[in-house]
């Protein structure tokens, strides 16, 4: 098993996601080169990924390859970006239409959409460096930062923003609940969006203020986009690419979660036919299910408890028990006792407050007004507590991640990509978030430490 792992330094630690083996194996199969060929001539697929303790590790060479490839193609001219976007939109539409067909058909169409995961984030650093270099030739640094911050707000609304807008304009309706029934469910782990949820979200919105800010922000972003394109002249397509990336980074995962939510009955039906629970079947791989080679219940229970995944040219394999522990130990990082954590600044500012570690929605209830939100990453369902937070600190994320975008919309200090914040900090720690310098300083440890 360990022989299938490469050297530790060949892996890039990316994001923590509780994605059951059925869907993770489907995602990896979607990284096959055949699904990339329509986007990029002679493209290869991803070679490997590993999931350990829900952390997803890609090969550095895979990320570097797709970062360079996607940027080189999509930055060539606007027509290339439009071509790729059209393919993505078509595949997303086919994925949703396949919900009316068999599970096998849906899985094939979902795999066809999976390249969106690579296209949607790998080129981020290259694009931002290029944008900064071009703007720096024409503006002072503080003006460059200001324009880049404003361009980081997408003109195109993601699903969560559309849901908020619908609530503000129409209130809680049966149509709203039906349209966004899926919005809290992630990767097939059911979390229903209820009438109470919708009403609670509406209660948090000052409708008139929300609508005024919405229109004002649209006008401001349109102006910045127009001015930046005029300034960059022959390289104006970089602005279009940046707007696409900021929008699509969130949209691609929302589209997958929406599709998987509506595919759950297909999988539940197969589970019933095979005498399994829904949780058991999602802890089988897609091929184990489709090829009727599902492990016995004892193994499935082990996987439900803890598992790791290695996916490569030999296939997708799920490990439990001692094998899982060996993989976890392989990637384990020793975190030193530190008084200061460094990351990348997403929105400037300075704030002091008490830490609350939020690993999932189950931690929301402990969050209070003025707390410092510390999380592996944020997703749209975090927005209610983000409104209460004084500042955000995340382990993960780039300049177009959800936390970065929301922090700029809310004008709250935000530091992203610390890698270790959730490991070092504890609930109740008094910290100083210096998002001007990208540093979190621990002023006083919680007494229960």
Instruction: Indicate whether 224 belongs to any domain.
Output: no
Residue 308 shares a structural domain with residue 375 = no
Residues 322-344 pLDDT 10s:
999 999 999 988 777 788 999 98
Instruction: Indicate whether 334 belongs to any domain.
Output: no
Residue 259 shares a structural domain with residue 116 = yes
Residue 83 shares a structural domain with residue 118 = yes
Residue 431 to residue 390: CA distance in whole angstroms: 11
Q: Report the half-sphere exposure of 357 (CA within 13 A, side-chain side).
A: 14
16 beta partners? 55
Predicted local distance difference test score (pLDDT) of residue 394: 94
Q: Is the dihedral of CA 213, 214, 219, 221 positive or negative?
A: positive
The length of the chain in residues reads: 449
Instruction: Indicate whether 166 belongs to any domain.
Output: no
Q: Report the half-sphere exposure of 160 (CA within 13 A, side-chain side).
A: 23
Residue 85 to residue 414: CA distance in whole angstroms: 30
Predicted local distance difference test score (pLDDT) of residue 158: 92
Query: Is the CB of residue 374 less than 8 Å from the CB of residue 386?
Result: no
- List the domain range (segments joined by +) for residue 361: 340-444
Residue 355 shares a structural domain with residue 439 = yes
Predicted local distance difference test score (pLDDT) of residue 293: 95
In this structure, the strands spanning 308-312 and 11-16 are unpaired
- Residue (of 52, 15, 47, 44) closest to 326 by Cα position: 52
Residue 49 shares a structural domain with residue 108 = yes
Predicted local distance difference test score (pLDDT) of residue 1: 61
Residue 346 shares a structural domain with residue 423 = yes
Instruction: Indicate whether 217 belongs to any domain.
Output: no
DSSP letter, residue 422: H
Residue 113 shares a structural domain with residue 255 = yes
Residue 322 shares a structural domain with residue 373 = no
Mean pLDDT, contiguous 10-residue spans, the chain (449 residues): 86 90 97 96 93 94 96 94 97 97 96 94 91 92 86 92 96 97 93 93 92 94 95 94 94 96 96 95 97 95 97 94 95 83 91 93 90 90 90 87 86 92 92 94 82
Instruction: Indicate whether 354 belongs to any domain.
Output: yes
Instruction: Indicate whether 238 belongs to any domain.
Output: no
Residue 322 shares a structural domain with residue 258 = yes
Domain termination site, one of 329, 360, 386: 329
Instruction: Indicate whether 366 belongs to any domain.
Output: yes
Residue 315 shares a structural domain with residue 398 = no
Domain termination site, one of 288, 308, 329: 329
Residue 270 to residue 281: CA distance in whole angstroms: 8
Query: Is the CB of residue 426 less than 8 Å from the CB of residue 354?
Result: no
Predicted local distance difference test score (pLDDT) of residue 2: 67
Residue 369 shares a structural domain with residue 405 = yes
Domain termination site, one of 277, 303, 329: 329
Question: 141-151 and 124-136 are packed helices; what angle lies between their axes, rounded to 10 degrees?
Answer: 140
350 beta partners? 434
Residue 13 shares a structural domain with residue 118 = yes
**Residue 427 is part of a domain; what is its CATH number?**
3.50.30.10
Predicted local distance difference test score (pLDDT) of residue 448: 63
Predicted local distance difference test score (pLDDT) of residue 315: 92
Instruction: Indicate whether 191 belongs to any domain.
Output: no
Q: Which residues of 320-338 are buried (b: 16+ CB within 10 A; e: fewer)?
A: beebbeebeebbeeeeeee
Predicted local distance difference test score (pLDDT) of residue 223: 96
Q: What strand order describes the sheet that includes 391-394?
A: 340-342, 439-444, 430-434, 350-357, 372-375, 391-394, 414-416, 344-347
- How many domains are contained in the chain? 2
């Amino acid at each position: 098993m360990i022989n299938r792992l490469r050297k530790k330094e060949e892996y890039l630690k990316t994001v923590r996601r509780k994605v059951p083996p059925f869907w993770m194996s489907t995602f990896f199969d979607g990284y096959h080169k055949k699904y990339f060929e329509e986007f990029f001539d002679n493209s290869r697929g991803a070679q490997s990924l590993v999931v350990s303790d829900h952390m997803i590790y890609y090969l550095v060479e895979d990320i570097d390859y797709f970062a360079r490839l996607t940027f080189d193609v999509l930055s060539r001219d606007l027509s290339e970006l439009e071509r790729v976007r059209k393919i993505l939109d078509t595949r997303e539409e086919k994925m949703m239409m396949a919900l009316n067909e068999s599970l096998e058909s849906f899985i094939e169409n979902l795999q066809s959409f999976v390249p969106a995961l690579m296209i949607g984030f790998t080129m981020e650093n290259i694009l931002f460096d290029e944008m900064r270099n071009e703007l720096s030739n024409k503006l002072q640094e503080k003006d460059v930062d200001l324009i880049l911050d404003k361009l980081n707000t997408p003109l195109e609304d993601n699903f969560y923003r559309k849901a908020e807008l619908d609530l503000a304009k129409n209130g809680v309706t049966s149509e709203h609940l039906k349209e966004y029934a899926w919005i809290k469910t992630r990767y097939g782990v059911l979390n229903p969006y209820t009438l109470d949820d919708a009403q609670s979200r509406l209660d948090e919105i000052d409708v008139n203020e929300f609508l005024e800010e919405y229109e004002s922000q649209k006008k401001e972003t349109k102006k910045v986009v127009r001015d930046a394109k005029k300034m960059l002249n022959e390289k104006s397509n970089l602005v279009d690419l940046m707007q696409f990336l900021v929008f699509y980074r969130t949209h691609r995962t929302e589209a997958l979660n929406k599709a998987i939510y509506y595919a759950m009955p297909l999988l539940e039906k197969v589970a019933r036919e095979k005498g399994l629970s829904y949780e058991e079947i999602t802890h089988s791989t897609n091929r184990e299910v489709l090829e009727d080679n599902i492990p016995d219940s004892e193994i499935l229970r082990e996987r439900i408890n803890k598992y790791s995944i290695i996916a490569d040219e030999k296939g997708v394999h799920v490990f439990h028990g001692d094998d899982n522990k060996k993989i976890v130990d392989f990637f384990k990082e020793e975190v030193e006792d530190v008084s200061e954590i460094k990351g990348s600044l997403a929105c400037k500012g300075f704030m002091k407050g008490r830490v609350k570690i939020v690993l999932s929605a189950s931690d929301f209830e402990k969050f209070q007004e003025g707390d410092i939100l510390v999380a592996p990453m944020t997703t749209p369902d975090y927005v209610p507590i983000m409104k209460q937070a004084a500042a955000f600190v995340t382990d993960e994320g780039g300049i177009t991640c959800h936390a970065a975008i929301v922090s700029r919309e809310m004008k709250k200090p935000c530091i992203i990509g610390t890698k270790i914040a959730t490991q070092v900090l504890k609930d109740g720690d008094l910290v100083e978030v210096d998002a001007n310098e990208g540093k979190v300083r621990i002023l006083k440890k919680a007494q229960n430490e």
